[in-house]
Amino acid sequence: MIFDTHAHYDDDAFDEDRETLLAQLKAAGIERVVNVGASIHSSHTTLELIEKHDFLYGAIGVHPSETEELNEEWMNWLEEKSHEKKVVAIGEIGLDYHWEEPARDVQKYWFVRQLDLARKVKLPVIIHSRDAAADTLEIMKEHGRDLGGVIHCFSYGPEMAREYLKMGYYLGIGGVVTFTNAKKLKEVVKETPIDRIVLETDCPYLSPVPNRGKRNSSLNLPYVVDMIAELKGITAKEVMEKTWENAKALYRMTE
Ligand SMILES: [Zn+2]
């Protein structure tokens, strides 16, 4: 039983075979997936997709790189849609300084606003943070300490991991942990208690070895499970069971 806590099945990369692929997941043991919005458009398409498939749940929110499209009207729309039954989180939101746009101030402003929205509607958050460790931590300490949620595709070192674990956050671990050059992330997984780790694909991106570079899907998660099991010295079955329970707790699902 595998829970993929972060996927983008509404992405164009799945246009050719989306329904066929989704139909294969359950038989492969992928029993629940959270499809994550990253813009207003993909929040719309996420809502459409989760309505069609009982095992898909959704998160809505605007990724830092897309924040220039946000305004009060769209914030009101996000608030309204956050009350829909299968919407389980606000995200993905955060900071991304990899490309120097939108301006850092713009990203920070809408990050804080979406954290405040999550507080208002009582949902956990999915945090995206790339090349922005210090600013993300500062904002999270001030505005996100009590919200609960996941640091998705965790990419920083053990010290930063400890800060988020202290605040009660889960760490999202995906394909990157199988890369031979992912030494830092392997250290993080070794040090993080198994009850604070959740599985994710971020598909279509970040396929694990041996499928690195190809389109990713939840079908690849067993490779991630095996690597986590090896790093922590436990069985793959334990990894699947624990991360399933963690994912349910993260998204506050009662069944
Ligand atoms: Zn994502």
Q: Quote the ligand 1 centre to 36 CA distance (angstroms).
A: 6
Q: Quote the ligand 1 centre to 92 CA distance (angstroms).
A: 7
pLDDT for residue 122: 98
3 state DSSP class of 129: strand
Tokens representing 200 are 């994710």
Burial of 97 (0-12, 13-18, 19+ CB in 10 A): middle
Tokens representing 222 are 């067993």
Tokens representing 156 are 């920083």
Residue in 255, 171, 246 with CA at minimum distance from that of residue 3: 246
Q: Is the dihedral of CA 43, 45, 46, 51 positive or negative?
A: positive
Q: Quote the ligand 1 centre to 63 CA distance (angstroms).
A: 8
| Whole-number Å distance between alpha carbons of 161 and 156 | 7
pLDDT for residue 100: 83
- pTM for the whole thing? 0.97
> C-alpha dihedral over 91, 241, 220, 188, to 10 degrees?
70
Sheet holding 170-173, edge to edge: 2-7, 30-36, 56-60, 87-96, 125-130, 149-151, 170-173, 197-199
Tokens representing 80 are 């309204």
Residues 46 and 35: beta-carbon distance below 8 Å: yes
Query: How would residue 250 be classed by pLDDT, with cut points 50, 70 and 90?
Result: very high
pLDDT for residue 92: 98
Per-residue pLDDT of 10-34, as tens digits, reads: 999 999 999 999 999 999 999 999 9
Q: Quote the ligand 1 centre to 181 CA distance (angstroms).
A: 21
Mean pLDDT of the chain: 97
Query: How would residue 255 be classed by pLDDT, with cut points 50, 70 and 90?
Result: confident
Task: Verify cis geometry, omega within 30 degrees of 0, for the bond prior to 124.
Answer: no
pLDDT for residue 220: 98
**Looking up tokens 């600013």, which residue turns up?**
135
CA distances in angstroms from 174 to 68, 135, 150, 185, listed in the order given = 28, 23, 13, 10
Query: How would residue 244 be classed by pLDDT, with cut points 50, 70 and 90?
Result: very high
Residue in 26, 86, 48 with CA at minimum distance from that of residue 218: 26
125-130 and 56-60 beta bridge pairing: unpaired
Per-residue pLDDT of 163-221, as tens digits, reads: 999 999 999 999 999 999 999 999 999 999 999 999 999 999 999 999 999 999 999 99
Average pLDDT over residues 78-87: 98
Residue in 61, 65, 63 with CA at minimum distance from that of residue 102: 65
Q: Quote the ligand 1 centre to 6 CA distance (angstroms).
A: 6
Query: How would residue 117 be classed by pLDDT, with cut points 50, 70 and 90?
Result: very high
Q: Quote the ligand 1 centre to 8 CA distance (angstroms).
A: 7
Residue in 52, 76, 63, 48 with CA at minimum distance from that of residue 6: 63
Q: Quote the ligand 1 centre to 7 CA distance (angstroms).
A: 6
Residues 114 and 61: beta-carbon distance below 8 Å: yes
Q: Quote the ligand 1 centre to 187 CA distance (angstroms).
A: 23
